[in-house]
Amino acid sequence: AAASRKPSDLESLMWRCGVESAWAALEEMHRRGDTTDRRTISRMLKRTVATCSTRSARRAIYRGLRLIEDFLRMRPRDVDEVLFNEVLDACCVVNDMHRFDSSRRLMQRLSVAPSSVTLGILVKAYGKVGRMDKVLQVWDEMEEQRAEANVVTYSCMVQACVKCDRLDKALQIFEDMRRCGTHRNTILYCTLIKGYGLAKDLAGAMELFHEMQAEGVPCNTITCNAMLEVCVKCDELHKAEELMRKMASCDSPAEPDLISFSTLLKGYCKGGDIERAFQVVEAMTARGVDCDGTVYNTLIAACTKANDVSAVIGLLEEMLNRGIPPSATTRTLLEAAFQCAEDHVAAREAAEELCRQHNVEPVSARPASWAEHRQGAAARSAQPGRGGQRSPQPLEQQAPHGHSTADSWGCGGGGLLGSPALMVPPGAERQLGGVFVAVPMAAYPLSLPGQLVAGAWPVHGHMGFTLQAAQWQPPQAAPLGSAQPISLLSMVCSCASAPMDPRCNLSKSAAPPLHAGGRRAAR
């Protein structure tokens, strides 16, 4: 009956015009003091999370979480386990564990009973951040939900154990599933094979791989790629070659793809066998698999290590002929290659000439100046809806439809679900080496000296850096946990040894080169 229920007008708008339009309509409803039902808002958040692949989508998730906070204020008893599962999953996607824990506590306060789905989300989230103690705690505490769990929940638990380097616990759970006859699952076997790879136990991985086929579990390309990765990590390239030949055979259900060839290529380059590496590329081309930027970067790095600069220039030319522009990683590798060349000036000029012929930005081009970035950031801030400066709002006094300063940076706002907000009081900006740094308020509830504060901290102009391990240093006159403004400069200076984002140099002598080109290429 629930499945055949007619969708609400807001849900129909979501499917017709997109989830952003639906959130905007809900925002307008909240301004009028009205809201929707829990089923609709759950589906809206689920749809938003499903499209989370860009920074704007990440901001959309925080927008949805903020509006759900408004919904909870308006209808604190109109909630269910499905809504909280979507909230917990969204927090997991954006790695907001502070809000995640607060949402779980609120779920308990409202007496919303968790399900086996909740258990799966909890172990997945805690495993993702390496909190094995919390993984084991919720797994042991939620015995009733564990009894109702299906293979998906158990797979989440196995994956969390592997992520936290607890292969022994993962195998113990797998044995429990084997006794119940629920272990025949491709994803489950693939996860365990990856676990053996992290432990560099090729024999264990190979035994599991053969058992999988004997049990009649479908063996797809992803599983074979995981097995290839184990072979490469254990420096058993001959076994990786044997597996690749089986994958390439006509009767194999798993056909080698770009990841398969890239894994084998990485193994040869790691061992310095460049000739074999180029043979892999030829085999890729023969099977109609196109090389990507990561393949070329691997080859360029190997040729640089072998001091073969002419091969590096040839690879750059081939990249450009295929329409693959040099990434930031490629440019860094090319710079290293130029330094190794006997005539580094001639090598650089040859690369620059290739870029000019293909109408590509020169490989030695420097990022735009800080002044240009400041002008661009100011122009973006002036646009409607881009989160210009606003007066601070205490967390408990936020209007249901208001945006906090932290929301405009995509960091989330404070509220019922517990996400800390960073508020910028008027005039509380300090100029530091050409950077206008917003001074945060003590939004984190602190009670112990030396408590760690980590996460993304915004810089004026929609740029930011990551404070990975810093101690909170309040002024001596203010007690810990107070709402006294604390200079970010004092925090950074007191934690000079903390690992910082390499794109952000907060020294007084030089302006930090915050630029979009500083992102690492990710596979």
Asked if residue 411 lies in contact with residue 456, where contact means CB atoms within 8 angstroms, the answer is: yes
Asked if residue 135 lies in contact with residue 161, where contact means CB atoms within 8 angstroms, the answer is: yes
Q: How confident is the model at residue 472 (pLDDT cuts 50, 70, 90)?
A: very low
- Which residue from 312, 394, 298 is spatially nearest to 346, judged by alpha carbons? 312
Asked whether the predicted pLDDT for residue 295 surpasses 70, the reply is: yes
| Residue range 350-379, pLDDT digits in tens | 888 888 888 888 776 544 433 444 445 455
Find the mean pLDDT for residues 171-190.
Answer: 91
Q: How confident is the model at residue 416 (pLDDT cuts 50, 70, 90)?
A: low
- For residues 253 and 54, which has the higher predicted lDDT (pLDDT)? 253
* Cβ-proximal residues to 116 (8 Å cutoff; 6+ apart), any chain: 145, 146, 148, 149, 150, 153
Asked if residue 27 lies in contact with residue 71, where contact means CB atoms within 8 angstroms, the answer is: no
Q: List alpha helices for 385-512, DSSP H.
A: 405-408, 488-494
The reported pLDDT for the residue numbered 53 is 63
The reported pLDDT for the residue numbered 498 is 32
The reported pLDDT for the residue numbered 360 is 84
The reported pLDDT for the residue numbered 106 is 93
The reported pLDDT for the residue numbered 294 is 92
* Cβ-proximal residues to 363 (8 Å cutoff; 6+ apart), any chain: 316, 326, 330, 331, 334, 335, 348, 351, 352, 355
CA distances from 382 to 275, 350, 387, 461, 479 (A): 55, 43, 8, 10, 37
The reported pLDDT for the residue numbered 133 is 93
| Chain-centre distance for alpha carbon 60 | 15
The reported pLDDT for the residue numbered 108 is 93
The reported pLDDT for the residue numbered 364 is 67
**What span, in angstroms and rounded, lies between the C-alpha atoms of 440 and 457?**
9
- For residues 210 and 484, which has the higher predicted lDDT (pLDDT)? 210
Q: How confident is the model at residue 52 (pLDDT cuts 50, 70, 90)?
A: low
* Residues 214, 216, 221, 225, CA torsion sign: negative
Range of weakest confidence among 83-87, 128-132, 179-183:
179-183
Residue 348, both tokens:
């650089």
| Residue range 307-345, pLDDT digits in tens | 898 999 999 999 999 999 888 889 889 988 888 888 888
The reported pLDDT for the residue numbered 344 is 82
| Residue range 377-415, pLDDT digits in tens | 455 445 544 433 333 333 233 333 333 333 333 333 445
The reported pLDDT for the residue numbered 328 is 87
Asked if residue 265 lies in contact with residue 230, where contact means CB atoms within 8 angstroms, the answer is: no
DSSP 448: S
- Which amino acid makes up residue 452? L
Asked whether the predicted pLDDT for residue 463 surpasses 90, the reply is: no
pTM assigned to the model? 0.65
H or E element that contains 261: helix 258-270
**What span, in angstroms and rounded, lies between the C-alpha atoms of 51 and 264?**
32
Find the mean pLDDT for residues 476-485.
Answer: 36
Asked whether the predicted pLDDT for residue 124 surpasses 90, the reply is: yes
Residues pairing with 436 in the sheet? 431
The alpha carbons of the chain give a radius of gyration, in whole angstroms, of 27
> What average pLDDT is seen over the chain?
74
The reported pLDDT for the residue numbered 30 is 95
| Residue range 58-73, pLDDT digits in tens | 888 999 999 999 999 9
**What span, in angstroms and rounded, lies between the C-alpha atoms of 136 and 147?**
15
Q: Give rounded-to-5 percent helix, strand, coil for the chain.
A: 55, 5, 40
Q: How confident is the model at residue 112 (pLDDT cuts 50, 70, 90)?
A: very high
- Which residue from 3, 146, 66, 126 is spatially nearest to 404, judged by alpha carbons? 66
- For residues 71 and 455, which has the higher predicted lDDT (pLDDT)? 71
- Determine how β-strand 463-471 pairs with β-strand 452-459: antiparallel
